[in-house]
């Protein structure tokens, strides 16, 4: 990268990093502007060509059907299965001998899988699931840490046409229970525990608690990871390794033929109000979207070693740990534990050890590791890296520059990818050939039309803040909210009919670069994890001392945003530092450690609208000492 103008390119305003000749020369996609024009003029032709790079049992009759907006359909009439392109297709070629997954446990355990080996495990587990009565369309909940079996479980579900619902292993009883219940899963796949920060995460124990209130679950499959002794309920609970050793696991395992629009998975995420809702993604369009975006944005090559350091329990893991790399026939690395265990050089050590070429992580991780100083990464040879990425929240320019200089040694462009659980794929992102501005996600991916508008839906002037919207459909878009199509229409498509509402505010500068500011709804991004105020508040009021609660996000140096809770106590309870601790622990126990509030403040009143809705915006402004804005709807 250079900081000067590259011939033939217009000079951009602000702090700009232009791609080096070397980066341009090796990029998969060099004609970015032309691809943008191509997609703009012929969206269906553009995506049809991308889809043609993959295999289909039957090709589509039409690329996009928009006759029933906003229920868009992609690759109508086509038949496929994402597993056919992720595994079956590769094991017919030399790639069967290529590594699909290299894994390192926090405790030093090592495992790796060739495409052949991964496919064998997936086939065997698919047979196991079938023998448990799972079939096409059934939902299966997966609740695990970062171990290879989470790949196997997800892929086995997809292979037999079951719909997986992965619940992040850092969530706790209430969060897990609500998600199992809503999905009506009959089968749950988990592990006895996982290693994190040198301690065991009690996965199975949490499952046992949650299942007391989930009568739908008939079978629990338990992977032995920690071997620390967990209780197994006769009939209901089965050890994974026992099932995999049954004769039924062996032999052929057919990949189910799916309609392109058949659901691949549901994934719960928090939205504007109420309980988390499940976003639905499909086999066809989602597959084409993640295959293409990963290849184009991260310039994936046959010889790369790709490391997406997210968790498979979130969309980043679904799209870019499991499915995206496999669709591209790539080699992925996955690490189970904490970045700082046992020392803050763990990540850098593994990059050196495995020769990682592309690292994709979150700003919070970068800020967290930055705190330990440069000496830790500098001790290691990071010269294998050629590209870096970030996702999950806006990256502050200071962290961007540290990442660029200390980790990428000023050679590796940083792909700041903006997207959401709902979008399935990167939406606003640079490509390696696009000049970068630290803190900006740059430009829309070809075929994506993004805009920043005011309350009335009019585009705002450059550098003015407004609502970020998307104006055209894209193949990996969510199709609906599971069991709640009205909410799909209401939440995403009703504020500006015909346009998708992202829930983010943003600015667009004079060069058309997008700058994401943050959520404008009741979503809080803690360390890049997406949490809803409603779930945190309901965890708080489940404590006997709490009558009412409001949760807001306030800036935090490492986490980006941290949760601050305001509570009204029930009569007979008085606030004390002990009660603060008790309430923080209570939320952590019910929701998961990531939801633990930074602070709990006891108040007599909460600002509310006349209709009784808590005005979190006002609470936030007060906490930050900012103007309270329009308070005309405030109760008093």
Taking the least distance from each CB to ligand WTA, the nearer of 260 and 407 is: 407
Alpha-carbon distance of 245 to 265, in angstroms, equals 27
SS3 at position 258:
strand
417 binds ligand WTA, rule: CB under 6 A: yes
Helix (H, G, I), strand (E, B) or coil at 293: helix
Tell me if 503 contacts ligand WTA by CB under 6 A: yes
Q: Is 269 in the site for ligand WTA (CB under 6 A)?
A: yes
Nearest to 245 by CA among 109, 145, 342, 125: 125
The answer to whether residue 416 forms part of the interface with ligand WTA (CB under 6 A) is yes
Q: Which residues, numbered 419-478, are part of the site for ligand WTA (CB under 6 A)?
A: 419-421, 441
Contact region with ligand WTA (CB under 6 A), list: 117-125, 333-341, 350-358, 387-395: 387-395
Closest to ligand WTA by CB, 329 or 503: 503
Question: Tokens 């079951």 — which residue?
Answer: 162
**Residue 315 contacts ligand WTA per CB under 6 A:** yes
CB of 186 to ligand WTA, least distance (A): 27
Contact pattern from residue 271 through residue 310 relative to ligand WTA, giving x for each residue in contact according to CB under 6 A and a dash for the rest: ----------------------------------------
Alpha helices in 395-484 (DSSP H): 397-402
The yes or no reply on residue 311 touching ligand WTA (CB under 6 A) is: no
Q: With respect to ligand WTA, which residue has the nearer C-beta, 144 or 315?
A: 315
Contact 193, 202 (CB under 8 A): yes
Location of structure tokens 């490492």: 558
**Judged by CB under 6 A, which stretch of 59-67, 202-210, 388-396, 532-540 contacts ligand WTA?**
388-396
Rounded Cα gap, residues 429 and 43, in angstroms = 18
The encoded tokens of residue 337 equal 């534990």
CB 530, min distance to ligand WTA, A: 4
Give least dist CB 441 to ligand WTA, A: 5
CA 468/CA 518 separation, integer angstroms: 10
Choosing from 196, 211, 366, 391, the residue that interacts with ligand WTA (CB under 6 A) is 391
Reported as type and span, the H/E element at residue 48 is helix 43-51
Q: Which is nearer to ligand WTA, 400 or 566 (CB)?
A: 400
Among 138, 192, 299, 393, binds ligand WTA (CB under 6 A): 393
State the nearest-atom distance from the C-beta of 78 to ligand WTA, in Å: 26
Stretch of 158-166, 418-426, 452-460, 604-612 contacting ligand WTA, by CB under 6 A: 418-426
Tell me the CA distances in angstroms from 76 to 13, 137, 264, 465, one per residue in order: 43, 19, 16, 38
Stated as kind and residue range, the H or E segment containing 80 is strand 79-80
Q: Which of 84, 225, 525, 596 binds ligand WTA (CB under 6 A)?
A: 525
Residue 574 CB partners (closer than 8 Å, separation 6+): none
- Is-contact 369 411, C-beta < 8 A? no
For residue 70, whether the previous peptide bond is cis, meaning omega lies within 30 degrees of 0, is yes
- DSSP helix/strand/coil, 346: helix
Segment interacting with ligand WTA, rule: CB under 6 A, options 40-48, 256-264, 291-299, 496-504: 496-504
Closest to 129 measured CA to CA, from 252, 210, 248: 248
Distances (CA, A) of 2 to 5, 299, 413: 8, 19, 11
Token reading at 327:
């669709």
Q: Which of 347, 418, 467, 500 binds ligand WTA (CB under 6 A)?
A: 418
- Which CB sits closer to ligand WTA, 399 or 579? 399
If one asks whether residue 316 binds ligand WTA (CB under 6 A), the answer comes out as yes
Rounded to the nearest 10°, the torsion over CA 357, 341, 201, 151 is 10
Q: CB of 156 within 8 A of CB of 274?
A: no
Q: Which is nearer to ligand WTA, 102 or 287 (CB)?
A: 287
Task: Single out the segment in contact with ligand WTA by CB under 6 A; choices: 43-51, 249-257, 285-293, 501-509.
Answer: 501-509
- From 204-212, 236-244, 252-260, 417-425, give the range in contact with ligand WTA by CB under 6 A: 417-425
Count of residues of this chain found to bind ligand WTA when the rule CB under 6 A is applied: 23
Among 105, 148, 394, 553, binds ligand WTA (CB under 6 A): 394
Q: Where are the beta strands (DSSP E) in 270-357?
A: 277-282, 305-308, 331-335
Taking the complex as a whole, how short is the minimal distance between the CB of residue 202 and ligand WTA, in angstroms?
25
Phi first, then psi, for residue 580 (nearest 5°) are: -55, -50
The residues binding ligand WTA (CB under 6 A) are 269, 314-316, 391-394, 416-421, 441, 502-504, 516, 518-519, 525, 530
């Amino acid at each position: 990268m250079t900081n000067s103008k590259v011939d033939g390119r217009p000079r951009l305003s602000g702090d700009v990093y232009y791609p080096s000749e070397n980066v341009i020369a090796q990029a998969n996609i060099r004609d970015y502007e032309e691809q943008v024009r191509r997609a703009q003029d012929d969206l269906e032709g553009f995506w049809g060509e991308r889809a043609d790079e993959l295999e289909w049992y039957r090709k589509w009759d039409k690329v996009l059907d928009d006759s029933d907006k906003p229920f868009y359909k992609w690759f109508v009439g086509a038949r496929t299965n994402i597993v056919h392109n992720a595994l079956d297709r590769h094991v017919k070629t030399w790639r069967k001998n290529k590594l699909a997954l290299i894994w390192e446990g926090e405790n030093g355990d090592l495992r790796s899988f060739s495409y052949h080996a991964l496919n064998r495990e997936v086939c065997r587990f698919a047979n196991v699931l079938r023998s448990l009565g799972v079939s096409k369309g059934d939902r299966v909940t997966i609740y695990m840490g970062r171990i290879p079996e989470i790949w196997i479980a997800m892929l086995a579900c997809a292979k037999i046409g079951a719909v997986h619902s992965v619940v992040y292993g850092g969530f706790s009883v209430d969060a897990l229970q609500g998600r199992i219940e809503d999905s009506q899963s009959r089968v749950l796949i988990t592990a006895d525990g996982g290693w994190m920060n040198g301690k065991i995460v009690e996965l199975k124990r949490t499952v046992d608690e949650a299942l007391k209130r989930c009568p739908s679950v008939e079978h629990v499959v338990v992977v032995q990871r920690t071997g620390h002794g967990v209780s197994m309920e006769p009939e209901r609970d089965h050890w994974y390794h026992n099932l995999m050793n049954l004769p039924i696991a062996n032999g052929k395992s057919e990949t189910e033929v799916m309609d392109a629009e058949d659901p691949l998975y549901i994934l719960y995420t928090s939205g504007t109000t109420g309980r988390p809702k499940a976003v639905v993604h499909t086999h066809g369009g989602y597959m084409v979207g993640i295959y293409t975006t990963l290849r184009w944005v991260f310039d994936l090559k046959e010889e790369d070693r790709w490391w997406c350091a997210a968790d498979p329990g979130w969309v980043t893991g679904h799209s870019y740990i499991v499915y995206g790399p496999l669709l591209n026939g790539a080699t992925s690395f996955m690490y189970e534990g904490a970045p700082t265990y046992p020392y803050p050089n763990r990540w850098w050590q593994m990059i050196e050890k495995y020769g990682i070429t592309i690292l994709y992580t979150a700003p919070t991780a970068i800020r967290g590791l930055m705190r330990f100083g440069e000496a830790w990464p500098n001790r290691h040879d990071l010269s294998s890296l050629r590209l870096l990425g970030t996702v999950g929240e806006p990256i502050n320019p200071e962290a961007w520059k540290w990442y660029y200089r200390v980790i990428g040694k000023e050679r590796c462009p940083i792909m700041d990818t903006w997207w959401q659980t709902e979008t399935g794929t990167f939406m606003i992102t640079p490509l390696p050939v696009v000049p970068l501005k630290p803190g900006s996600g740059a430009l829309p991916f070809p075929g994506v039309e993004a805009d920043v508008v005011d309350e009335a839906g009019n585009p705002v002037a450059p550098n003015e803040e407004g609502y970020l919207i998307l104006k055209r459909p894209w193949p990996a878009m969510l199709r609906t909210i599971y069991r709640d199509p009205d909410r799909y229409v209401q939440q995403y498509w009703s504020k500006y009919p015909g346009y998708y509402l992202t829930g983010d505010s943003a600015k667009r500068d004079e060069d058309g670069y997008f700058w994401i500011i943050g959520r404008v709804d009741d979503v809080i991004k803690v360390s890049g994890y997406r949490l809803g105020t409603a779930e945190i508040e309901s965890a708080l009021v489940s404590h006997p001392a709490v009558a009412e609660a409001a949760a807001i996000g306030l800036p935090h140096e490492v986490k980006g945003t941290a949760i601050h809770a305001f509570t009204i106590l029930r009569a007979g309870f008085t606030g004390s530092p002990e009660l603060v601790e008790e309430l923080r622990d209570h939320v952590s126990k019910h929701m998961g450690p990531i939801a633990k509030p930074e602070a709990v403040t006891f108040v007599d009143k909460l600002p509310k609208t006349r209709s009784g809705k808590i005005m979190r915006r006002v609470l936030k402004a007060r906490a930050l000492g900012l103007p309270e804005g329009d308070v005309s709807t405030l109760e008093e």
